[in-house]
Structure 1
Amino acid sequence: MPDPIQLISALLNRIAGQADVEESAEWYLRSNLIDYKRVLLRKSSAQEIEFATGALMRFCEQSLDNTAPLYRDCAEIAEEGAKVATHLKATGR
């Protein structure tokens, strides 16, 4: 299972230049990814991660071209984050 934190960090590095353009898709994505990374690092509850995963996917679906690599990267991160939530549920968190 790929580590979603590493996937987020790699994607943030790849979009760094474009994310500096205010109000670009990458600019908004950077903010969403940073927030999502914070939630994943806290691992406070499966429910919190599920909520954050849903929010990230809504952003990706509404703001990114679903045929573009950026969308696929975003979806992969959300999928791996959802696995973290599933694991937390299995351990009672």
Structure 2
Amino acid sequence: MSDPIQMISALLNEIAGRADVEGSVEWYLRSNLIDYKRVLLRRTSSEEIEFATGALMRFCAEHLDASAPLYQDCAEVAEEGAKMAAQLKAAHP
């Protein structure tokens, strides 16, 4: 399993220049990724991570081209976050 926290950090670095344009897709994506990273770092509950994963994927599906690399990166982050939720759920049934 890849580390979703590191993946988010790398993706934030990748979009940094474009994310400074208020109202751009990258600007909104940065906000979503920062919120998602906070949830993953807290590891409060698997349900919270699952909810946040769903929210991130909805944003990506609604605002990004599914064939674009940015969408693929976003989906990979969400997939790793979902794995983290599953591990947390298994550890605390």
Q: TM-score, normalised to structure 1's length? A: 0.99
Counterpart residue number, 2:72: 72
TM alignment of 1:16-31, pairs within 5 A: 16-31=16-31
After superposing on structure 2, the runs of 4+ consecutive aligned residues of structure 1 that deviate more than 6 Å are none
The whole-number CA distance in structure 1 between the counterparts of 2:89 and 2:59 is 25
2:66 is paired with a residue whose SS is coil
Deviation at 1:52, TM superposition (A): 0.1
**RMSD across aligned C-alpha pairs, in angstroms?**
0.7
The whole-number CA distance in structure 1 between the counterparts of 2:90 and 2:15 is 34
Unaligned runs of 5+ in 1: none
1:43 aligns to 2:49 (yes or no): no
1:15 aligns to 2:15 (yes or no): yes
Q: TM-score, normalised to structure 2's length? A: 0.99
2:41 is paired with a residue whose SS is helix
The whole-number CA distance in structure 2 between the counterparts of 1:91 and 1:15 is 34
* Seq. identity, %: 75
Counterpart residue number, 1:90: 90
Q: Which amino acid aligns with 1:42?
A: R
Structure 1 residues 35-54: Cα deviation after superposition (integer angstroms, max 9, x where no partner):
00000000000000000000
Deviation at 1:92, TM superposition (A): 1.0
Structure 1 residues 17-76: Cα deviation after superposition (integer angstroms, max 9, x where no partner):
000011100000000000000000000000000000000000000000000000000000
Deviation at 1:88, TM superposition (A): 0.3
The whole-number CA distance in structure 2 between the counterparts of 1:32 and 1:38 is 10
